[in-house]
Amino acid sequence: MSEFTKLTIKDALTGLNNKEFSAVELAQSSLDAFKQYEDLNAATVLCPQEAMQLAQASDMRRSKGETLGLMDGIPIGIKDLFCTKGVQSTACSKILEGFKPEYESFVSQKLQNEGAVMTAKLNMDQFAMGSANLTSYFGSVKNPWQGKDGEILVPGGSSGGSAAAVSAGLVLAATGTDTGGSIRQPAAFTGIVGFKPTYGRCSRWGIIAFASSLDQAGPMTKTVDDAALMLSAMAGHDPMDSTSAPKDVPNYLQTLNGDVKGLKIGIPKEYMIDGMNPEIKAQWEKGAQWLKEQGAEIIEVSLPHTEYALPTYYIIAPAEASANLSRYDGVRFGLRKDGETLDEMYANTRAEGFGDEVKRRIMIGTYVLSAGFYDAYYIRAQKIRRLIQQDFTNAFKQVDAILTPTAPSAAFSLDNAPSDPVTMYLNDVFTVPSSLAGLPAISVPSNLSQSGLPLGLQVIGGMFDEHTVLKVGKALENAAGFNHVPHILR
Amino acid sequence: MSVIDRDTVRKVAFLSRIKVEEEALDGLAGEISKILTWIEKLQEVDVSNVEPLASVVELTQPMRQDKITDGGYPEKVLSNAPKVAHGYFTVPKVVE
């Protein structure tokens, strides 16, 4: 199986059903690939024993012709933000080093019920706070794509380990989570598909919380078809998450086609930001052209509060994080650094356990929630969040989906990554608005930049309209014919 | 301009229960001030008559029977605790 790294889920299911290879062979190939490309630092834990057990059970089911789930025998990676029973789960923070949950997250359990085989836990930005995978306690992840003369690039973040693992073909698919762009931006940086479904589609139960009103799990895959398939395997109502939507989950793949004829596609004029990279602009225009050629109608729309989305996000997300991360107190789980008093023990533990970016965001969140600033910052941000949501509601009266670039640039150099937090935050300029509005959005690889790096296009849909998002994504994928492979696989 | 000083950082660090060394206060004050200054942009938006949006899921909270549905496994609850004694979590002495 020399072509393991290029397999899609769909191909693999066909191969498994035709007995060209077994689930055990697939799992072994995945584990071998992680070892071969260890240098990418995509995994935090490999799970050979658990994977082999699950793969053997899958092969047994298939040999008996028993009812199989949507992903039976498919090797996948799980972002380290998901709690996995008996397997270290840390959100890539020192404060949770060695934490082995006694329970399994809803999403990873559902994937397992559908027959998926977890071969590894995947590296990420610490507590999902970052856009370049530079904040992980386990070290940064390298992008399988490289710059000029083999220059090392970041894979994006926060789901950077997931993106690198899928792009390099170490797993056939991976889970990601997206709070402000953490699935879509790394997908764009690594030339894969990343899909953040509607807020509430996937249960947050067992996902280590960052900003609870924004956090949402989704699939990271090689193709739009695979994203549709995997979303059906991950999503669903869960009574343990009161924000999880009590809606049926369709089989997205079954109904998926790229027929965009007659669809109205919005181009938001406010996304044409000052100083936009000409390559990104050209790629965006190309995307609109592709859809037009396939019969879609391109309409300019206005999302007037777009420029306020990032600052709004950087109040709401840190505020929620400061509350969520108060649970790391050195008492119930994780790291503990002793102190003379209880307060000292808390402060010592958290100073030692959290990374710099996490501390900065907790402190900003604490500040904007503190007496005297709550109304001026936090409540004002929540009001502007409503205005941003209303912008989208108005736009979706005119159009079926919205097309934008995913990120303002291609992947950047690991050594020359911006050290200024605000500059780093700008990576999410195109992804944050739809996160604040809770809308489903996909990133699809479109073409290569002049320097030979993948670029992504984003499609945003209305609430719970994953179907249209996938359809437009598929039309873009068909037109783009993106079949480039990352440098390390050449 | 929303610039915070080292005293404010010290106070916020205490509220956050994160120990910050004295020599790190100025650097953090600068970084946080820069972020807050960037966020100041929101002051220019007219938000009169706008209701805050806490969550895009505006459903009523689901109700369930007030019955115990989980529990009865203290050893699992304690299995990841850094310090336990006699089946309890432990903390430094809080009462004299």
A182 catalytic residue (yes or no): yes
| H or E element that contains A141 | none
Confidence (pLDDT) at B61 = 78
Q: Rounded to the nearest 5 degrees, what angle is found at the Cα of A429, between the Cα atoms of A423 and A433? A: 145
Beta strands in B1-96 (DSSP E): 84-85, 88-89
Identify from B9, B51, B57 which residue to disrupt to test chain A contact, counting A C-beta atoms within 10 A and taking the largest count: B57
Secondary structure of residue A335 in the 3-state scheme: coil
The list of chain A residues with pLDDT below 50 reads none
Q: Is there a contact between B17 and A350 if contact means CB atoms under 8 Å apart?
A: yes
Confidence (pLDDT) at B64 = 86
A100 catalytic residue (yes or no): no
- CA dihedral (A88, A93, A94, A99) in degrees, to 10, reads -20
A419 catalytic residue (yes or no): no
Structure tokens at B11: 């106070």
Half-sphere exposure of A235 (CA within 13 A, CB side): 27
Confidence (pLDDT) at A414 = 95
Find the closest chain A residue to B96 by CA distance.
Answer: A341
DSSP label of A193: E
Name the burial class of residue A144, with classes exposed (0-12), middle (13-18) and buried (19+) by CB atoms within 10 angstroms of its CB.
buried
Q: What is the pLDDT averaged over residues B12-36?
A: 96
Q: Rounded to the nearest 5 degrees, what angle is found at the Cα of A92, between the Cα atoms of A148 and A142? A: 10
User: Of these residues, A29, A167, A182, A435, which one is catalytic?
Assistant: A182
- Backbone φ and ψ for A41, nearest 5 degrees, come out as 60, 35
| H or E element that contains A329 | none
CA A328 from centroid of its chain's CA atoms: 24
Q: Is there a contact between B81 and A347 if contact means CB atoms under 8 Å apart?
A: no
Secondary structure of residue B6 in the 3-state scheme: helix
Confidence (pLDDT) at B63 = 86
Cα–Cα distance measured from residue A267 to residue A285, given in angstroms and rounded to the nearest whole number: 9
| H or E element that contains A474 | helix A466-480
Confidence (pLDDT) at B1 = 44
ipTM: 0.95
User: Of these residues, A29, A30, A79, A136, which one is catalytic?
Assistant: A79
Task: Select the residue of A99, A342, A420 nearest B91 (Cβ to Cβ).
Answer: A342
Confidence (pLDDT) at B2 = 58
B4 interaction partners in chain A (CB closer than 8 Å): 367
Q: CB pairs below 8 Å between A and B: how many?
A: 158
Q: Is there a contact between A386 and B14 if contact means CB atoms under 8 Å apart?
A: no
pTM to 2 decimals? 0.97
Q: Is there a contact between A311 and B42 if contact means CB atoms under 8 Å apart?
A: yes
Confidence (pLDDT) at A392 = 98
For β-strands A401-405 and A173-178, DSSP reports them as unpaired
Q: Is there a contact between A367 and B32 if contact means CB atoms under 8 Å apart?
A: yes
Q: Is there a contact between B57 and A370 if contact means CB atoms under 8 Å apart?
A: no
Cα–Cα distance measured from residue A5 to residue A165, given in angstroms and rounded to the nearest whole number: 10
> Of the candidates A256, A179, A218, which has an alpha carbon nearest to the alpha carbon of residue A469?
A256
- Backbone φ and ψ for A223, nearest 5 degrees, come out as -135, 165
Q: Is there a contact between A344 and B92 if contact means CB atoms under 8 Å apart?
A: yes
Min distance B19 CA to chain A CA atoms (Å): 5
Task: Select the residue of A239, A305, A311 nearest B38 (Cβ to Cβ).
Answer: A311
Structure tokens at A63: 């040999």
CA A73 from centroid of its chain's CA atoms: 22
Residue type, A134: L
> Of the candidates A104, A101, A165, which has an alpha carbon nearest to the alpha carbon of residue A133?
A165
CB contact set of A233 (below 8 Å; sequence gap of 6+): A69, A70, A71, A110, A111, A114, A116
Cα–Cα distance measured from residue A470 to residue A22, given in angstroms and rounded to the nearest whole number: 30
Task: Select the residue of B19, B36, B42 nearest A348 (Cβ to Cβ).
Answer: B19
Task: Select the residue of B35, B38, B94 nearest A342 (Cβ to Cβ).
Answer: B94
Cα–Cα distance measured from residue A451 to residue A409, given in angstroms and rounded to the nearest whole number: 11
Min distance B15 CA to chain A CA atoms (Å): 7
Cα–Cα distance measured from residue B27 to residue B7, given in angstroms and rounded to the nearest whole number: 12
